[in-house]
Structure 1
């Protein structure tokens, strides 16, 4: 943790909320952690069926394929205490028929540069009661309990991950090979999509803003955008390489979406702030 980092200076602890597990500070802040994002696409028709009733629509990457991904993180120093998280998300818009370029790294660029869009939190798992309560009771998300084994060294240079539900059933598992830096091919692709000026601006910014959209429920009766902020010192993005990267999706509802990984992003140390949709920033 770097004291005085702009992401925390601009998002100080401002209050608390009373949960079933007791009081918790707001906003939700992660001071140090490690995160892996896996970007890809799913079958558009199956995605639409899975979010039927929501007032948002999947953003497509290719005919019949919608942009979606996973975020898994080991939050080692956080305002809610150390914990793990797994989220499956879909890129969504309030308008039907939106699309992004059919390129592996188009999704993270859209997440960082399209404030009119957001990532719908389709599924969420954590391993602390207080965090599950915070996400469900305050942020209106749909968190469930899970057990995590993240960023474990496995075969050769590979790093493994595995997440299972309360009953011990696998949700996802796999491995990836860390790299020291973003390959030129990936950098060129992101520059072509975002434009040199915008990509340089993103790289120089002390943190990046995005939006997470909740599913409709009793706490949040409408789909709302919650502002999120991320920062890291080491940010490596690259294409998915099936020779060294593996992902197995065992959870039936997720498996049915036909997720195909196309790129990944590895962030260390991962800093993160999640604000309530009512917060004005």
Structure 2
């Protein structure tokens, strides 16, 4: 692991805890954030000891979204030529999308623990995670509509598969804020907790349960779920048959079955 300016990363019990670490700026996503998150998830993917990721924010809030100073700096790069401006903006948007694509494409399960504000770009981020959990008083909003733009880093593409098309449209068109209880009711978060301490304890407990499972089985399960977002059922069945033709030969299967039969806790290699 490297030293980061926008994050703090800890590894214990096979869990990588990735913490957005700009609490004095409400964990706003500055320029360093967007490049460092790619490096962090590249490290997560290549480190066999990591079985699962917990993503959280330091301080009172998860994240207030993209840093407005960063948006201003992008604007300062624009000139008078519309075509060249469009090329500059398109390239920048694709770079930002790549940051959250790295989270989505991670081979390990990613759990988001959300307290306080989760606004704008932070919704894009949690939509790229596998599961989301929050405090009851967490506040969620797709805020891009209020600054005169369409969300462009993943919310409008990923969120319909999480909360449904109609609810996504309502939140995107109105920009209204919902809290933890409503977020759970619409499926944005799996569960709510009374406060930040209970939230982190609960999510870490879930992460430890996941980390005990076969890493081969976790990899295959996540890959099949991701594949099915964009394919037909028969495509998915064909893909999992081909995948498991290899993966069912893993020693993990024998370890798991023996543990089940002997009522013991299995231990899997990294």
- Which band: TM-score by shorter chain? under 0.3
Could you say which structure has the greater relative contact order, defined with CA pairs below 8 angstroms and 6 or more residues apart? Answer: 1
Greater percentage in helix: 2
Structure with the larger strand share: 1
Higher Cα radius of gyration: 2
TM-score between both structures, scaled by the size of structure 2: 0.23
